[in-house]
Structure 1
Amino acid sequence: MKEYKVISWKMGLSKNDERLEEALNQHAMSGWRVIHVSENSARIVFERERNR
């Protein structure tokens, strides 16, 4: 069974790419993988196996 997480990404004034990369890597270390990024990049959907 899978579980999902949705986060809202808030663009800042600087270092957006670096902050986004860091956030994605943090979620990946917890077993999450990105399955969708909204067109305006405001929401990111993650998925992982529930019983890992």
Structure 2
Amino acid sequence: MKEYKVVNWKMGLSNNNKKLEMTLNEHAISGWRVIHIGEQTTRIVFERDKNR
């Protein structure tokens, strides 16, 4: 079974790429994997196995 998490990405005025990279890496450490990043929104959808 899978579980999902939606994160609202908060863009700043500077260092957007670095902040995004840090957010993705923090979630990856916990076993989350990106399945969608909205092009016109600031939402990232993550997925992972529930019984990991």
After TM superposition, the score normalised by the length of structure 1 is 0.95
The structure 1 segments of at least 4 consecutive aligned residues displaced by more than 4 Å after TM superposition are: none
Question: For residues 3-51 of structure 1, what are the alpha-carbon distances to aligned partners after superposition, in whole Å with 9 as ceiling and x for unaligned?
Answer: 0000001110110000000000000000000000111241000000000
Matched positions, count: 52
- Aligned pairs for 1:1-52 (under 5 A) are 1-52=1-52
Residue ranges of structure 1 left out of the alignment (5+ in a row): none
**Over the residues paired in the alignment, what is the CA RMSD in angstroms?**
0.8
Identity of aligned residues (%): 67
For 2:50, the aligned partner's letter is: R
After TM superposition, the score normalised by the length of structure 2 is 0.95
Residue ranges of structure 2 left out of the alignment (5+ in a row): none
